Amino acid sequence: MNRLLTAVVAAILVLRASPSSAEVVRIVIDRREDVLRGRSFGNVGPYERIIGRVYFAFDPDDPMNARIVDLRLAPRNVQGLVEAWAEFMVLRPKFPPPGGGTALLEVSNRGGTAALAYFNGAVGSAAPTDPAHFGDGLLMRLGLTVIWVGWQHDVPRRSELLRLHAPVATLGGEPIRGLARADWTVDVPTTTLALGHRDHIAYPVVDPDDSANVLTVRDGRLARRRPVPREQWRFAREALGDVVPDSTSIYLQGGFEAGRIYELVYRAESPVVVGLGLAAVRDMMSYAKYDSTSAFPVRRGVAVGISQTGRFLRHFLYQGFNTDEQDRPVFDGMIVHTAGAGRGSFNHRFAQPSRDAHRYSAFFYPTDLFPFTGRSQTDARTGVTDGLFAHVPDPAHLPKIFYTNTGYEYWGRAASLIHTSIDGVEDVDPLPNERIYHLAGGQHFVGRFPPSQANRMVSGPGYRGNPLNFLVTMRSLLAEMMAWVERDDPPPASTYPRIDAGTLVPISSVRFPSIPDLEVPQVVHTAYRADYGPRWGDGIIDRQPPELGAPFPSLVPQVDEYGNERGGVPSVEILVPLATFFPWNLRLDFPGGTHELTDFVGTYVPLPRSEADRRAVADPRPSIEALYRDKAEYLQLARAGARNLVRMGFLLEEDVDDVLARAEAHWDWLMGS
């Protein structure tokens, strides 16, 4: 009867936090269910999934909350606290070890979940219930409690996404107004553009006729902005052939032209207290670690952030959020993945957390900002001394950190800045609590294999999209992080390109092989000393768009004779090559910015199959025929490479067979067998 009631009725359990966790005041559990009908994961046993809501209360007078922009201007309850709430999901062992084990809190990228796909080899799902959603169960076999909590207020309006329901700041009870900005790289002609980034909820315009609302157009990243005459555009959208007013869209008579960059600066009002997202992540982890009434108690916490949320974790560290209100350390470890040198729009007035700042989209948002390294440095141009950890309230609370970046982040996210001097002349070694791992040759995410013919490059050889599989490396590094946090076992030494080794160089010094018809980049993503106005130190932007000052030098990895990157963590694809895995791709097939970088993706160019093929096109790279006598020798070398990666700590023993199966599939696809 009890099992039947549990299956039919979603029990709602309300847990009140103990006084030691002043920020989490209440947990509401809406659903609690066995994972995969009680399937056991190795020696850990079965798991359960908990879905619910967490309610926070923040003290504006607490020093640990002092950096939250506009918190003092948010409405307060009768206790003088600012309230917010968020959805959450937890996967936890049904029989955790005494005192709790370790939590992996994934900071949700735009409200979604990715940890199961990244570490379990699973099919991604916001509501994991199917065996495919759990893959091989690595996270579970490690006994981890996996936590997701909403931290972003403006995620798209989809029920499966986790969001933070945060208050709006006012001044003396009156709405606060300020400048907001939106921009678009238009690749397909259209009449309507939404103000929100990637379908996110936008700040609406206050007064469509306000003279502060200015639309400009330009033909390149740094090209001169030209105003679009006001009578030609309006706040509206085209719907079913009609043009209807819309405060979160713009409509242009005659349409927006493909190949152009459009930018809108407009006046908005009622800013959400966006920085509460940082505090929500902090306090969710503290609740799990320290609250005696926790619904999912743990002893240690490791954060993982991927792309946007890797930048979130860098911001979290920089603004001192790894110490909670009771002066306790929050996260014991962090895996900061594909963040490059960025932070982001996570704690300022009218912030849009989804905006990033790539080489050729979402331009010049407050993302790539000094400082970049854990060690403090002085910027000779501004005289400012700062570091990523310079504002940590207690240095003893610094977590153990892995920074993992693919080659794309060096080209498209200025990743070299996290380990070089400000002038780009010298290496800056990581601190003892930091490890830097360059996933050589990878693009921002693992591309499809085999590549689709639809992704065949029209201009030049190869394919748009790079299938180098760095996720097997991430699985091993996850295990290494847990050993570091739980037992203080040292992980592999940092492995990344360096100036003193000649493996980190200016773009002009990269020795690309002269592959016929292949154009190589002449540009790399650049961070600037940007001026957002006189109140930027208080988290308020008065200058939209910002005024750009001197750039910071971005360096990139040197390459070998195949064109593959040197100086990083290798993979079997790099150690025993069948192709060149470029982490960059040019927009050659696009209507504008054709020699700029394509966001996120790389280029895959197979080696010539035979010497005859190589000579026919004058490809300087060795042919597969010249490198390997046959498939058997190739697989033998691939196995040796995989075994070496296991010894180095960059591949799990259990993943060797899968890596070799992929290597064999790669050979068969290329050689036509």
> DSSP letters of 349-411?
TT--TT----SSSSTT-TTS-S--SSS-EE-TTT--EE-TTTT-S-GGGPPEEEEEEEHHHHH
Q: Are residues 291 and 241 in the same domain?
A: no
Q: What is the CA radius of gyration of the chain?
A: 25
Q: Are residues 368 and 416 in the same domain?
A: yes
Share of the chain above pLDDT 70, in %: 97
Question: Is there a contact between 390 and 383 (Cβ–Cβ < 8 Å)?
Answer: no
Confidence bin at 99 (pLDDT 50/70/90): confident
Task: Answer yes or no: is 196 within a domain.
Answer: yes
| pLDDT tens track for 590-629 | 999 999 999 999 999 999 999 999 999 999 999 999 999 9
pLDDT value at position 2? 44
- Write the burial class of residue 487 (CB in 10 Å: 0-12 exposed, 13-18 middle, 19+ buried): exposed
For the chain, helix (H) and strand (E) counts, in that order, are 12, 32
pLDDT value at position 240? 86
Q: Which single residue is written with the structure tokens 């650049």? A: 526
Task: Answer yes or no: is 292 within a domain.
Answer: yes
Q: Are residues 31 and 127 in the same domain?
A: yes
| Residue 443 in tokens | 């693009």
| Complete DSSP assignment for 553-610 | P--EE-B-TTS-B-SSB--HHHHS-SEEEES--B-TTSSS-TTSBPSS--EEEEPPSS
| pLDDT tens track for 520-559 | 999 999 999 999 999 999 999 999 999 999 999 999 999 9
Which of 3-17, 360-374, 495-509, 653-667 has the weakest average pLDDT?
A: 3-17
pLDDT value at position 524? 98
pLDDT value at position 12? 45
Nearest-angstrom CA–CA distance, 121 and 136:
7
SS3 string of 112-150? CCCHHHHHHCCCCCCCCCCHHHCCCCHHHHCCCEEEEEC
- Taking alpha carbons only, the member of 153, 488, 88 closest to residue 285 is 88
| pLDDT tens track for 51-85 | 999 999 999 999 999 999 999 999 999 999 999 99
Q: Give the three-class secondary structure for 335.
A: strand
| pLDDT tens track for 188-202 | 999 999 999 999 999
pLDDT value at position 20? 46
Nearest-angstrom CA–CA distance, 606 and 623:
9
271: cis peptide before it, omega within 30°?
no
| pLDDT tens track for 377-431 | 999 999 999 999 999 999 999 999 999 999 999 999 999 999 999 999 999 999 9
| Residue 504 in tokens | 């980190």
pLDDT value at position 565? 98
Q: Give me the number of domains the chain comprises.
A: 3
Confidence bin at 98 (pLDDT 50/70/90): confident
Burial 222-254, CB ≥16 within 10 A → b, else e = eeeeeebeeeebbbbbbeeeeeeebbbbbbbee
In one letter, which amino acid is 276?
L
Q: Are residues 487 and 502 in the same domain?
A: yes
Average pLDDT, the chain: 95
* CA-CA-CA-CA torsion sign (458, 462, 467, 473): negative
- Taking alpha carbons only, the member of 631, 646, 627 closest to residue 570 is 646
| Residue 630 in tokens | 């046959």
List 216's β-bridge partners, or say none: 227, 263
| pLDDT tens track for 9-60 | 344 456 666 544 458 999 999 999 999 999 999 999 999 999 999 999 999 9
Which of 377-381, 454-458, 506-510 has the weakest average pLDDT?
A: 454-458
Task: Answer yes or no: is 129 within a domain.
Answer: yes
Cβ neighbours of residue 206 closer than 8 Å, sequence gap 6 or more: 177, 267, 268, 269
Task: Answer yes or no: is 307 within a domain.
Answer: no
**Mean pLDDT along residues 320-331:** 97
Task: Answer yes or no: is 310 within a domain.
Answer: no
| Residue 589 in tokens | 């097939």
Nearest-angstrom CA–CA distance, 282 and 84:
14
Beta strands in 430-542 (DSSP E): 434-439, 463-464, 504-505, 527-531
Q: Which domain holds residue 97?
A: 1-168+273-298
Q: Are residues 109 and 250 in the same domain?
A: no
Task: Answer yes or no: is 304 within a domain.
Answer: no
Q: Are residues 482 and 425 in the same domain?
A: yes
Which run of H or E residues covers position 615? helix 611-617
Q: Are residues 261 and 284 in the same domain?
A: no
Strands laid side by side in the 463-464 sheet:
463-464, 603-606, 579-582
Task: Answer yes or no: is 314 within a domain.
Answer: no
**Mean pLDDT along residues 195-213:** 97
Nearest-angstrom CA–CA distance, 437 and 491:
11
pLDDT value at position 673? 55
pLDDT value at position 6? 40
Q: Is 50 exceeded by the pLDDT of residue 150?
A: yes
Q: Are residues 184 and 163 in the same domain?
A: no
Nearest-angstrom CA–CA distance, 426 and 419:
9
Q: Are residues 155 and 217 in the same domain?
A: no
pLDDT value at position 460? 83
Task: Answer yes or no: is 462 within a domain.
Answer: yes
Q: Are residues 198 and 284 in the same domain?
A: no
pLDDT value at position 253? 95
Q: Are residues 379 and 512 in the same domain?
A: yes
Q: Are residues 509 and 597 in the same domain?
A: yes
pLDDT value at position 1? 38
